[in-house]
A and B are shown apart, each in its own frame.
Chain A
Amino acid sequence: MSKDIRIKRGLALRLKGEAEKQLVEAPRSKTYAIKPPDFHSVVPKMTLKEGAMVLAGEELFYSKYTEEVKFTSPVSGTLKEIKRAERRRIVEVIIEAHPTDSYKDFGKMNAETAAPEDVKSRIFESGCGAFIKQRPYDIVADPKDAPKAIFISAVSTAPLAADFGFILKDKVAAFQEGINAIKKLTSGKVHLSVDASSEACLKGIKGVELHHVKGPHPAGNVGVQIHKIDPLNMGERIWVIGAEDVSIIGNLFLTGEFHADRTIAVTGSEAKNRKYYKTTIGANVSDLIPQMPESVRVISGDVLTGDKISNNQYIGFYHNSITLIPEGNQYRMFGWLPFMYNDIHSNSKTSLSWLMPKKKFEPTTNLNGEERALVVTGEMEEVLPMDIYPMQLLKACMAGDIEKMENLGIYEVAPEDFALIDYVNTSKIEAQEIIRLGLDLMITEVG
């Protein structure tokens, strides 16, 4: 059975530099890294010491407060370095890779017939638990919870985002096995949303509630889909899993090994070889792209939610793309005049960019202004297709008013849902950061 979700509000940003639909094998990196900051709110406790040998799938560290959640090595090799930042916070766990991978054997398991407890413990002991994120709060899931539903979005609407239809094309069997396993994690439904591109390969997937999603970004955001399909109420838990990660979980059950395969789309106007690269989680960015000058921003992820990284750093755990765009650290004379510099896109109509609906823009990282008080109203609602008042919610988060945040729907949102608000808002406030801090406050106060 399938249902249609049509999203009207939002913004389909057309940017230059889409990746060509061609899959290339990336060279094997010398080093790989798992970055604990990718797992928000997880306090890592190292299991291994520097210099230890690891197999792919062997535990590197675990979460201090939910010990069942393990983080395992994507490759086999030697634990080279545990990089720490201020207050000894671990920022990177670097593994020097062997030329070929040998895997820790978890043993094959038929997910369809296995007992739910076995499936769950297999997923979490192998490190696949890290793929499961929990709503509310957008943090790594706690295996002790019983989610009311599980959501998987194979819809990519973010600008220049990797196309899951293309990525999953050859992984359908593993994907199906992954679904079989995931189904055991909830007594509720597993919702899979697809768009025109991913529908072709995922149409036959069994055991899921299939949803066709149409509309501009953030229609592909799982938070928006949850809001439309089965909204989250106070006290409830929903788990979400990335589309490619489902096939990694499937592979775990099919082979008994943790194959941390990752397909990365190299995109953006500054990228030369814009293709899809087959690599492994935690790969070094320098293996996919040449060294970039200062004038280019390297983003692990997409332009709205990704992380800024530099040459020789590692790709984020959850990311499916690398985006290269020019830095915008230039002054622009009279840049504030309306109807000037029309090659810079604006969702407002004060730039004539709206007269060029077919144009692909080449944005820089310039802020195009400075932070100001919140003045303009109505612009945030235009890009948040939820029954939520974004500006009021942001103000409640700024004020740390927990009751108001609850009333206005803080449980239903994740920072990524506010990424377009970062983009469009006239006052240049950092909406994603404000929501993240608001969610963190809820975690400490409500839990």
Chain B
Amino acid sequence: MEWIRQRLDKFKEPFQKGKKLEKYAPAINALDTFLYTPNHTTQKGAHIRDAVDLKRTMITVVLALIPALIFGMWNGGYQYLSQIQTEVGFWEAIGHGALKIVPMIVVSYGVGLGLEFLFAIIRGHEVNEGYLVTGLLIPMIMPIDIPLWMVALSVVFAVVIGKEAFGGTGMNILNPALMARAFAFFAYPTYMSGNKVWVSEATGVDAVSGETILGTLAAGENVDYSVMNMFSGVIPGSIAETSTICILAGALLLILTKVGSWRIILSGFLGAAVMALIFNALPSMGIEGNSLTNFPWYQHLIVGGLAFGVVFMATDPVSGAQTVTGKWIYGFLIGLFAVMIRIFNPAYPEGIMLAILLMNVFAPVIDHYVIQANVKRRKKRLSGATQIKTAV
């Protein structure tokens, strides 16, 4: 251990202040801090500090994503292999999925972290760890067959326009991972929607096809999948969005570690359930709905990207609401709008992405009004106090 540390210190020598390569210090520091928590001590303020730091927080989110990711790899292989052969082995399926997904992750991290390092060096600050999560999220919400260059381009858009243009980590208004997906969705719609993209090789092999459940419903057709399939996630869809159970496992970790806001997660599901229940009630009011409005409310919660979006995207603390009351409203409206968009927008039967992006934009407004209430309380107290004074 000591040996590694010494070598590292020696290697860092030319990057010190006043030395030749000082400019590139953020890059080398980012690598160093991955091996070691630095020896920095408190110089002002409280003399002792909590064990948590941003790296630890972000890694916790990455850990929470792992179950959904592994399942996504297996499901990616299974959806394809089960259509061309009768028996699918576990490792065979994972292997097929991994061959598709691992390169996407490599590209996403490579391009994204490269940009992060670049901006850190230009701006002279340390590399923020936020991209560890974003970089994993981006491939996880893409269709399995998307070309790697599109992944790369989406990443560039997300990091440069979505984040750095606003001032970098902590300043962005929209969730960068969703920005990447939105970019790909609007720039390359044929790769991002329809019934040919959700199962691996569907575009090339005639015998293979697969539509998402929401797509099937939007087309007015019957769904062949059982509720159990929907919950466990053995259905076509974006890579990691399908398995509600794996997503809930991640949610559990986020909530237990307090890294993700349980308020946003709970209110998100609540909002979706309320909206779906309203539509479910239409027939009883004499209005004939369609297959999407009549889709049972609890199934709305377990299909499509709703669960993934609510658990992993809506809880992004930077683009979400920051106040406690704000979080309840923000999460609830995300769920509400996600189901509403699903039902009213037949061209794009998945609403969670747009619902979260929309609420990202409104989150500062929600917070503003919540904080304004606090300001008003204070002002009211002040006027009350001066009244007493004049009365005396």
Contact = CB atoms under 8 A, between A and B. Distances in A.
Given A328-B39, A370-B33, A389-B371, A378 B53 contact: no
Interface in B325-351: 327
Contacts of A372: 53-54, 126, 128-129, 169-170
A375 B49 contact: no
Interface in B40-64: 40-42, 44-57, 59-60, 63
B56 A350 contact: yes
B32 to A, nearest CB: 9
B168 interface: yes
Interface string B140-169: 000000000000000000000000000011
Interface residues of A, number: 74
Contact of A350 (B40, B60, B128, B320): B60
B375 interface: yes
A372 B169 CA distance: 9
A330 B130 CA distance: 25
Contacts, number: 212
Interface stretch (B93-101, B257-265, B301-309): B257-265
A351 B47 contact: no
| Interface-centre pick from A325, A419, A428 (highest chain B CB count, 10 A) | A428
Contacts of B63: 338
Interface string B51-89: 111111101100100000000000000000000000000
Q: How large is the interface on B (under 10, 10 to 19, 20 to 34, 35 or more residues)?
A: 35 or more
Contacts of B229: none
B166 to A, nearest CB: 11
A369 B55 contact: yes
Interface in A286-341: 297, 299, 303-306, 308, 323, 325, 327-338, 341
B37 A332 contact: yes
A336 B41 contact: no
A257 B385 CA distance: 39
Interface stretch (A55-63, A90-98, A137-145, A231-239): A231-239
A407 B317 contact: no
A75 B5 CA distance: 51
Interface in A390-447: 391-392, 407-409, 419-420, 422-428, 430-433
> Chain A CB within 10 Å — which of B45, B126, B327, B381 has the most?
B45
B45 A370 contact: no
A242 interface: no
A366 B49 contact: yes
Given A338-B60, A341-B51, A375-B130, A348 B378 contact: no
Interface in A169-203: none
Contacts of A364: 41, 48
6 contacts: A348-B52, A349-B256, A367-B40, A368-B50, A373-B130, A377-B317
